[in-house]
Amino acid sequence: MTITPPRTVSPAIVLFTVSMCTMLYSLTVTIANVALPQLQGALSATPDQVSWIITLNIVATAIVTPVTGWFVARYGQRQVMLVSIIGFTVCTLFCAGADALGPLLLYRIGQGAFGAPLVPLAQAIVVGTYAPEERAKAQGIFGMAVVLGPAIGPVLGGYLAEEYNWRWVFLLLLPLCAVSLACTYAFIFDTGERQKTSLDWTGFLTLSIAVTCMQLVMDRGERLDWFESPQILVLSALLLWAFYTFVVHTLTTEEPFISPTILLDRNFFVGLILVFVYGMLNFTPIVLFPGMLQNLKGWPDSLIGNVLAARGIGMIAGFYIAGKMGNLDPRVGLAAGLLLIGYSGVEMAGFDLNVPDWLVTWTAIAQGIGCGVMWVPLSMVAFATLKPQLLPQASSIFHLLRNFGSSIFISISVMAVIRTSKISYAELTEHISPFNETLRLGSAMGAWSVDSLMGLAGISAEIDRQSQMIGYANAFVLYTVLCFATLPFLLFVRIKN
């Protein structure tokens, strides 16, 4: 599954082309986060509904990524890449023109589905273009270029969303789509014959149904009161049936969609656990930050974009540090990354409504450094002891779990914010009573009052802000606990001599 372009095409141009293409997908996640608060108001959506704009995009990517190899073998990498960019461009244009949440979610699913092949295809092209002794340097440049886009994108997206509206967040991607399409058409070529390989459609479809149902249950469960809702019961039953069918089919068919023997490799199995957690830790804060900072702190979109950009700069620094740590035990890099992410979680769990701007920015930078430091040794550990013939399938599972971890934990975190906010609101309002003598003290109440409707409305609004902040803090506590609880799994990593 590699491409060797004609000798007349410079490898540097090929590297530039695939870096641009990969930036399309990475940008579509980070740049949309900047406009989430504005989208919530414009589309009359609740916080859990607006989070679907991110989660459904990631789920679509997770579902389509594993079949990239089959598409390439059947239609060729050049054709798959061109179709992916064209489809992504059309869906992006439709996103910019959407007037309701439903169509926007549909177009975001299209973005994820068409964008899914771009990352694995780009990596395959880099490997096929450069000689073995030059691949490490090329992969480093490729990784830096891919992260640079999400670092710059939120700044531009935040500025455009603030000056104009949220539609410009998507329109900003269109020039990059045009450049990527032109460069791909001019510089990427197929070599070799195409193969008519078979796909285990039963395994693929049942796994896709299971992943989708799981995501829908997690997204809609809190709003629909979980198993009191017939919709949640139907989705749960469908989830169990699809997962059971997938497992039984995988264990009994000759050529399953995911070979169970691949899980017998200890390093890869531990790597799957770690990348699942990595997916949870990587994207969740950039979904929670915009709503928290704008709704509770009153930050403009441009300032939120700067925070997300600072996180991207931190990831660039993390990749650089990880490169310098290449000769060390990979468990050192994994532990250092988790500890940095955990530190950022501790800081976030302590946020309140008076948190200074510099602390929010520094926390984002530290988190980005941790994610960058962790990713390189994680990739090395997961594939270190696998047989070469298992690498294509292993890579698909690896990226599927990373994306699925992101979408699931985003849903869990949004649920934690909403649920604990409600509980905190109910607990705090118990103290607002004529029998509470403290409320009669002018020094304690300030401009608030329990003697008028205006005063009660002001107290209610402040309690709502405080309870929401408690909800976000609880979500960040969950984030921190998950991070530190993952550290013991590093003991199971086997170092290849």
Within a domain: 417: yes
Number of domains in the chain: 3
Q: Residue 5 has what pLDDT?
A: 46
Same domain, 234 and 276: no
HSE, side-chain direction, 13 A CA sphere, residue 485? 9
pTM score of the predicted model: 0.79
Q: Do 479 and 375 have their domain in common? A: yes
Q: 2 exposed, middle or buried (CB, 10 Å; 0-12, 13-18, 19+)?
A: middle
In the block, residue with structure tokens 């047989």: 387
User: Is 433 domain-assigned?
Assistant: no
Of the candidates 464, 479, 431, the one whose C-alpha atom is nearest the C-alpha of residue 353 is 464
Task: Please report, as a single letter, which amino acid is at residue 7.
Answer: R
Q: Could you tell me which of 257, 261, 348 has the C-alpha nearest to residue 307? A: 348
**Alpha-carbon span 375 to 333, nearest angstrom:** 9
Task: Examine the domain organization and report whether 414 and 332 are in the same domain.
Answer: yes
Residue 459 lies in a domain: yes
Same domain for 186 and 224, yes or no, is: no
In-domain check, residue 439: no
Domain match, 217 and 277 both = no
- Residue 91 counted as domain residue: yes
Cα–Cα distance for residue pair 126/20, rounded to 1 Å: 13
Of 181, 198, 215, which closes a domain? 198
The per-residue pLDDT for 195 is 61
Residue with tokens 């891919």, as numbered in its chain: 146
For residue 28, give its domain range. Answer: 1-198
CA distance 491 to 497: 16
372 assigned to some structural domain: yes
Tokens representing 10 are: 């410079």
Q: 213 with 70, same domain?
A: no
Cβ pair 383, 493 in contact under 8 A: no
For residue 241 the two structure tokens come to 């049936």
- Cα(357)–Cα(351) distance, integer angstroms: 11
Please check whether residues 57 and 191 belong to one and the same domain. yes
Domain end position, chosen among 198, 221, 243: 198
What is the pLDDT, as a whole number, of residue 2? 46
Residue 436 counted as domain residue: no
Buried-exposed string 21-60: b where 16+ CB fall within 10 A, e elsewhere: bbbbbbbbbbbbbbbbbbbbebbebebbbbbbbbbbbbbb
d(CA 24, CA 177): 7
Phi, psi of 394 (to 5 degrees): -65, -40
| pLDDT at residue number 1 | 46
Statement to judge: residues 224 and 80 lie in one domain: no
* Residues 61 and 185 grouped into a single domain: yes
Same domain, 311 and 351: yes
Length of the chain: 497
> Which pLDDT tens digits describe the chain residue by residue (497 residues)?
444 444 466 788 888 888 888 887 777 766 777 777 788 778 877 777 777 887 788 788 878 888 887 787 778 888 888 999 999 999 999 998 888 888 999 999 999 899 888 877 887 777 667 776 676 567 667 766 666 666 677 777 777 777 788 888 888 889 889 998 998 888 887 765 566 667 788 888 898 888 888 878 887 777 777 888 888 899 999 999 999 999 999 888 888 877 788 888 888 888 889 989 998 888 888 878 888 888 888 888 778 878 878 888 888 888 888 877 767 788 888 999 999 999 999 999 998 888 888 898 999 999 989 988 888 788 778 777 777 667 667 777 887 788 788 878 888 888 889 889 989 888 888 777 666 666 666 555 656 666 666 767 777 788 888 899 999 999 999 999 999 999 998 888 877 65
Domain match, 81 and 109 both:
yes
Q: Is residue 123 located within the same domain as residue 235?
A: no
Within 10 A of 241 (CB to CB), how many other CB atoms are there? Answer: 14
Residue 13 belongs to a domain: yes
pLDDT of 4: 45
Instruction: Indicate left, alpha or beta for 356 from its phi (over 0: left) and psi (-120 to 50: alpha).
Output: beta
Looking at 180, 198, 216, the residue that finishes a domain is 198
In whole angstroms, what is the distance from residue 9 CA to residue 17 CA? 11
Contacts of 187 (CB under 8 A, 6+ apart): 5, 9, 13, 14, 17
122 contacts: CB under 8 Å, gap ≥ 6: 18, 19, 21, 22, 142
CA–CA dist 170, 89 (Å, integer)? 10
Residue 268's domain is classified under what CATH number? 1.20.1250.20
370 vs 342: CA distance, rounded Å = 9
